Copies of this chain bind each other. A is one copy, B any other.
Amino acid sequence: MEQRELEQLLQKVAQGSATVQEALLQIKKEPYEDLGFAKPDHHRSIRQGIAEVIYGEGKTPEQILAIAGSLQRHGQRTVLITRMAPEAAVLLERSAAEMFDGKFQYDPVSRIGLAGELPPPDTTGSIVIATGGTSDIPVAEEAAFTALAYGNKVTRLYDVGVSGLHRTLSHLDEIMNARVIIAVAGMEGALASVIGGLADCPVIAVPTSVGYGASFGGMAALLSMLNSCASGVSVVNIDNGFGAGYLASMINHM
């Protein structure tokens, strides 16, 4: 019940067109709908009219198609799908012809699909996305496409890991001018600390499951990033590119 409806209901009581008991019942029955919750969905659009994101993992191609179609019918011109199986991409591509003017692209490595066109950036600040190695790129791309879909400018600095520090430092300009940085790294995850020490903006660290042996599926990078001696660094879940892109966009739009 929205505020306007509550007002109308009270007016009905004042006018006698609703009894006290009827009003009482109605107020108690839907006590939460009227709170103006800001977040009805997990993957909800931050700013209306730009893009919507579907989390593809564990959804059948048909389910993804159905959701994408529903979004398109409600006016959504761009739909991003993360963790999308190749079979779903085939199905989407076929259907995109009529639904999204034939615009559909899919990257099998990062498993990201994009129906429609990316919106133009609506902010001036740039989100820098850096990875320690080439194996971290799929997670970084998930973050990048998420940020792009929410209207951000994105600068990719891939394979700038700290074991070749000159590669990291050769991008000092981008790092120092960033508004937000997403540092994506597996193995020992030292990239977050080094970038956190260089940058003057919030750094979102994304540990990846890249590595072997005692990396324990990303545990080593995760612990390393949580213990970062650099200030301004916070951490999201292992391989959670979407979460990092979403949060970075939120900060970039402040």
Residues of A within 8 A of B (CB): 3, 6-7, 10-11, 13-14, 16, 19-20, 23-24, 27-43, 57-58, 132-133, 135, 161-167, 169-170, 172-173, 176, 179, 187-190, 192-194, 196-202, 204, 207, 209, 211-240, 242-243, 246-247, 250-251, 254
Contacts and interface: CB of A to CB of B under 8 A. Distances in A.
A240 B233 CA distance: 11
Given A211-B227, A213-B217, A234-B236, 15 more contacts: A7-B20, A10-B20, A32-B169, A33-B169, A162-B193, A189-B190, A190-B224, A194-B194, A201-B250, A201-B254, A213-B222, A214-B219, A214-B226, A214-B237, A214-B238
B226 A223 contact: no
A24 B39 contact: no
A215 to B, nearest CB: 5
Contacts of A6: 24, 27-28
Contacts of A10: 10, 13, 20, 23-24
- Counting from the closest, the 3 A-B pairs by CB-CB distance are A213-B238, A190-B190, A38-B200
Copies in the complex: 8
Given A14-B20, A194-B165, A240 B213 contact: yes
A246 B224 contact: no
B236 A235 contact: yes
A134 to B, nearest CB: 8
A236 B34 CA distance: 33
A231 B42 contact: yes
Nearest to A231: B246
Contacts of A133: 229
B251 A202 contact: yes
B38 A176 contact: yes
A34 B24 CA distance: 10
Given A236-B234, A254-B251, A197 B39 contact: yes
Given A14-B13, A228-B187, A196 B35 contact: no
A145 to B, nearest CB: 15
B31 A188 contact: no
A107 to B, nearest CB: 15
Given A24-B6, A202-B250, A236 B226 contact: yes
A58 B246 CA distance: 28
